[in-house]
Amino acid sequence: MVRFRRGRVEQCIALVDCNNFFVSCERVFRPDLDGRPIVVLSSNDGCVISRSDEAKRLGIRMGEPWFKVKGLHKYRDVMAFSGNFPLYSDLSNRVKCMLADFSPVHEEYSVDESFLDLTGFDDIRERSCAIREIVRKQAGIPVCIGIGPTKTLAKLANFVAKKHPKSKGIFFTMFWIDSRNAYCSTKFRLMRYGELVRG
């Protein structure tokens, strides 16, 4: 997995993003909520700040005022939770402690996102799968991972990892760099537990 270009190792950055983080935190202690449409609300229950996939499919938008949503018939089965920010912070710290075991260089990007520098590792595919498995098993939080040569491209790859069903939560993109430091070609590769599929 380590790539060399003109005598140097190509940088490899991973963005680990917790899926629907606040909702996932609520489900850690309420497994009966799996598969149900759920939203988490901001302070004073003002607006929607986290949505389960089921709630997204119903058309509930991020930031939507809750008073406009709760009375509509099509949202009658949606469960709403007041934000429990001490809980979310605690689980966030747990996840970040786990991620520190996978790279000596890691950076907190937000409460539910972290960058890991995987440059030089020759087991990036296996390491990424292990991150998803361990965080889900030990913290109860599902994550997606995007990998690229820069933070921006890692962020883009993470978006694809969330949206592309064949990615199984991990997407790897590398932009080869020529001697003038210009991007000269692009390859998207999909990690699927041992096989690489062209995107």
Which positions are catalytic? 113
Other CB atoms within a 10 A radius of the CB of residue 65 amount to: 14
At 116, which amino acid appears?
A: L
d(CA 61, CA 154): 25
Q: Tell me how long the chain is.
A: 199
Instruction: Single out the residue of 124, 111, 114 nearest to residue 191, CA to CA.
Output: 124
First to last CA, the chain: 18
119-153 per-residue burial string, b: 16 or more CB within 10 A, e: under 16 = bebeebbebbbebbebbeeebbbbbbbbbbbebeb
Residue partners of 38: CB distance under 8 A and separation at least 6: 23, 26, 27, 51, 52, 54, 55, 78, 79, 80, 81
Given the structure tokens 């890991």, which residue do they identify? 116
d(CA 146, CA 13): 8
